[in-house]
A and B are shown apart, each in its own frame.
Chain A
Amino acid sequence: MIASSIASGARIAAEVEKIAGVEVFVVLCNAGMRPPITRWMREVALLLKSLGGWSPGKLWRDRRAGKLLVLRQTLDDPQSTELIRSLRCDVGLHAANVIYREPTISAFRLGILNAHIGVLPQYRGRSVAEWSVLQGDATGVTVFFIDSGIDTGERIVVRELVPRAGCDSVSKLKRRLFARDAISYRKAIEALMSPGFRTEKNDTSKGLRYFVMSKLLTQAVTGILRAE
């Protein structure tokens, strides 16, 4: 689990650890994000905010057992890559605001999974939930193995459609989709562990790359959500 905060890492790890026989390491990757004082103040604030989703005792035990690691350098630094490689993990889970380069991706036996808040292969890139609503398509989350492109990784593991009933704003819809990440990752790991499982090809010719949506169209999307 490559996380930009202990809180998000612990939350997703708690869900994935429900699978029997799975061991999770949380690699905190916040080096270089901010000055150290503000970075760690943010960590404390996020932990307090998510109190109940983690246990201080377990966090302490994980730290002592080497399952919670803090990178001193940025993710791309060779020392970070070597540390991750030494964990000998099968799969990485993305929960950090970083772009992965090949050495980091290949430090995991199968690669790194991303829970994308859009339906692939149709919707790649940014603001995909909004674009889906505007064009009358389903919203959802797709878990796939990343490559160095933007949502172009060829192997889709899980795709879930997420109803948007009750979401009367874009921010509520996005919160609902982002909140699916832990469950989607668990389902993806369960799928990968099931005998005979085969990934689906992410055929990029069947979709488009989308970009940040303007305020004007976002306002129209809000209107559509309210009308649904």
Chain B
Amino acid sequence: MDLETAPSRSAQPDRRSVILRDALFSRRAEVQKSWPELLSSQLLESLGSAAGEVEAFLNGNDSALAPPGPESSGWLASDEDFWGGLYALALGKHLDCRPAAAPPSPLFPADLKRLSPPERFQRLLARYRCPANIAAASEFDVAEELLRQLMVVERTNLEAGRAFDAEGVLLALSLLGIRALITRDLRSFDALNYFFEMPRESLVRFRSNPRLFASWLCLYVQLLSTADWLQ
């Protein structure tokens, strides 16, 4: 057969889905077993009233992990602040959102590159007060830039043992986790896989922000529980 015209024979979609699902469920079991090593009881307590919910969620079974994400690709508003919205999405709860007008000033990838880490953190928190908006069609370029910064810049820093912006990385992982949950973008999901596979001594630096750390782990467990990635 001519190489230029011979397509690669692909495994049937259902077979690929089964293989992927098995791998994800196996990782989920690993996360459910090992999360207390990352999120110590002291950190968990620092979450206040949310601690019990986070603990129950991370130990949860399949039925507790079936999140319906907001389906709109337009801009949304919610009465919750960023942290309330993040918790709702991370814990698989319903987040009450309504269509709204997008902010008048767009955020450009170049802005993300130019801002200092604290400025970038605050800008992202303000723009994604309703965190589901990271999945809006208008935010594609920003989400791609966040993914690039994570998987190129921060990954390289972490792997080389250099200093990295732990809070910024956690925020980006949480936003990309939400994007993956809503849009089923496997690349965004895999950023969470990649960072979970980093050496534990790197991950403990995420303890500097227990709220984001807990949200990331909850979002990660949700993503690992999702079976329809290849449909």
Asked whether A and B interact, the reply is yes
**B197 surroundings in chain A (CB, below 8 A):** 214-216
Question: Per-position contact with B for A187-228: 1 when CB-CB < 8 Å, else 0?
Answer: 000000000000000000000111111111101100110011
Question: Per-position contact with A for B1-44: 1 when CB-CB < 8 Å, else 0?
Answer: 10111111111010110011011100100000000000000000
Question: Per-position contact with A for B59-101: 1 when CB-CB < 8 Å, else 0?
Answer: 0000000000000000000000000000000000000000000
Among candidates B4, B10, B15, residue contacting A137 with C-beta atoms closer than 8 Å: B10
Q: B10–A162 contact, CB under 8 A?
A: no
Q: A163–B193 contact, CB under 8 A?
A: no
Among candidates B8, B24, B147, residue contacting A139 with C-beta atoms closer than 8 Å: B8
**A137 surroundings in chain B (CB, below 8 A):** 8, 10
Q: Does A160 contact B (CB under 8 A)?
A: yes
Among candidates B11, B23, B187, residue contacting A216 with C-beta atoms closer than 8 Å: B23
Q: Does B151 contact A (CB under 8 A)?
A: yes
Q: Does B55 contact A (CB under 8 A)?
A: no
Give the A-B pair count, Cβ closer than 8 A: 97
Q: Does B205 contact A (CB under 8 A)?
A: no
Q: Does B186 contact A (CB under 8 A)?
A: yes
Q: B7–A163 contact, CB under 8 A?
A: yes
Q: Does B113 contact A (CB under 8 A)?
A: no
Q: How far is the CB of A25 from chain B (nearest CB, A)?
A: 28
Are A211 and B19 CB-contacts (below 8 A) given A161-B6, A164-B8, A165-B9? Answer: no
CA distance A210 to B16 in the complex (A): 19
* Tally of contact residues, A, Cβ under 8 A: 32
Q: How far is the CB of B176 from chain A (nearest CB, A)?
A: 11
Q: Does A136 contact B (CB under 8 A)?
A: yes
**A131 surroundings in chain B (CB, below 8 A):** 187
Q: Does B139 contact A (CB under 8 A)?
A: no
CA distance A160 to B5 in the complex (A): 8
Are A220 and B20 CB-contacts (below 8 A) given A164-B8, A228-B9? Answer: yes
CA distance A157 to B168 in the complex (A): 40
Q: Does A96 contact B (CB under 8 A)?
A: no
Q: Does A48 contact B (CB under 8 A)?
A: no
Are A212 and B151 CB-contacts (below 8 A) given A134-B20, A163-B3, A163-B6? Answer: yes
**A162 surroundings in chain B (CB, below 8 A):** 3, 8
Q: A136–B16 contact, CB under 8 A?
A: yes
**B230 surroundings in chain A (CB, below 8 A):** 134-136
Q: B1–A217 contact, CB under 8 A?
A: no
Q: How far is the CB of B180 from chain A (nearest CB, A)?
A: 13
Q: A136–B10 contact, CB under 8 A?
A: yes
Among candidates B6, B7, B190, B196, residue contacting A213 with C-beta atoms closer than 8 Å: B190
Question: Per-position contact with B for A123-166: 1 when CB-CB < 8 Å, else 0?
Answer: 00000000111111111100000000000000000001111110
When C-beta atoms are compared, the residue in chain B nearest to A220 turns out to be B23
Q: A138–B8 contact, CB under 8 A?
A: yes
Are A217 and B190 CB-contacts (below 8 A) given A161-B6, A161-B7? Answer: yes
Q: Does B191 contact A (CB under 8 A)?
A: yes
When C-beta atoms are compared, the residue in chain B nearest to A126 turns out to be B151
Q: A160–B16 contact, CB under 8 A?
A: no
Q: B19–A220 contact, CB under 8 A?
A: yes
When C-beta atoms are compared, the residue in chain B nearest to A216 turns out to be B193
5 contacts between A and B (CB under 8 A): A133-B10, A138-B7, A212-B151, A213-B194, A214-B193
Q: A164-B9, A217-B23, A227-B15 are in contact. List 10 more A-B contacts (CB 8 A).
A: A133-B10, A136-B16, A161-B3, A162-B3, A165-B9, A209-B148, A216-B23, A217-B193, A224-B20, A228-B9
